[in-house]
Amino acid sequence: MKKLIAIVAGEPNSISSEIIFKSWKSKRKYKHKPFFVIGNFKLLNLQRLKLKYKIKINKIEKYYDLNKLSNKKLNIYDVKYNQNIPFKNISGKSNEYIFKCFDIATKLAIKKKIVGFINCPVSKEFLFKKKYQGITEYLSRKAKIRDDGTMLIFNNKLSVSPLTKHISIDQITNKLNKIDMLNKITAINKFYKKYFLIKPHFALLGLNPHNYCSSKESKLNKKIDNVIKILRRKKINIKGPISPDTSFSTSKRKQFDVIIGMYHDQVLTPFKALYNFKAINITLGLPYIRISPDHGVGEDIVGKNVANADSLIESIKFFNFIK
Quick: pLDDT tens for 159-172. Answer: 999 998 877 888 88
Q: Are 115 and 237 members of one domain?
A: no
Buried b (16+ CB within 10 A) or exposed e, 35-46: bbbbbbbbbbeb
For residue 311, the 8-state DSSP code is: H
Assign residue 28 the CATH number of its domain. 3.40.718.10
Q: Are 118 and 209 members of one domain?
A: no
300 Cβ neighbours under 8 A, 6+ residues apart: none
Q: Are 230 and 302 members of one domain?
A: no
From 248, 263, 280, the end of a domain falls on 280
- pLDDT computed for residue 68 by the predictor: 83
Q: Are 206 and 292 members of one domain?
A: no
Percentage of the chain lying above the pLDDT 90 cut? 67
Determine the Cα–Cα distance for residues 98 and 122; give it in Å rounded to an integer. 8
Q: Are 62 and 205 members of one domain?
A: no
Q: Are 271 and 306 members of one domain?
A: no
128 Cβ neighbours under 8 A, 6+ residues apart: 134, 138
* 220, pLDDT greater than 70: yes
Work out how many domains the chain is built from and give that number: 2
Range of the domain at 189: 152-280
Sign of CA pseudo-dihedral 171, 119, 292, 83: negative
Q: Are 236 and 306 members of one domain?
A: no
* 76, pLDDT greater than 80: yes
Q: Are 2 and 139 members of one domain?
A: yes
- pLDDT computed for residue 114 by the predictor: 94
- pLDDT computed for residue 65 by the predictor: 83
- pLDDT computed for residue 213 by the predictor: 65
Determine the Cα–Cα distance for residues 172 and 262; give it in Å rounded to an integer. 8
Instruction: Please count the helices (runs of H) and the strands (runs of E) in the chain.
Output: 11, 12
Arithmetic mean of pLDDT over the chain: 90
* 261, pLDDT greater than 70: yes
Spatial strand order of the sheet with 5-8 comes to 57-60, 74-78, 35-39, 5-8, 116-119, 289-293, 280-284, 150-154, 159-162, 258-261, 201-205, 237-242
Determine the Cα–Cα distance for residues 117 and 234; give it in Å rounded to an integer. 32
- pLDDT computed for residue 63 by the predictor: 78
Q: What's the pTM value of the predicted model, to 2 decimals?
A: 0.90
Q: Are 125 and 240 members of one domain?
A: no
Q: Are 261 and 157 members of one domain?
A: yes
Q: Are 64 and 141 members of one domain?
A: yes
Determine the Cα–Cα distance for residues 230 and 261; give it in Å rounded to an integer. 18
Greater confidence, 45 or 150?
A: 45
Residue pair 181/318 in contact (Cβ under 8 Å)? The answer is: no
- pLDDT computed for residue 212 by the predictor: 66
The predicted model gives 281-288 an average pLDDT of 92
- pLDDT computed for residue 60 by the predictor: 94
* 14, pLDDT greater than 90: yes
Q: Are 22 and 132 members of one domain?
A: yes
112-145: per-residue pLDDT in tens?
999 999 999 999 888 877 677 678 888 888 888 7
Determine the Cα–Cα distance for residues 218 and 238; give it in Å rounded to an integer. 21
Q: How many CB atoms lie within 10 A of CB 232?
A: 12
- pLDDT computed for residue 165 by the predictor: 81
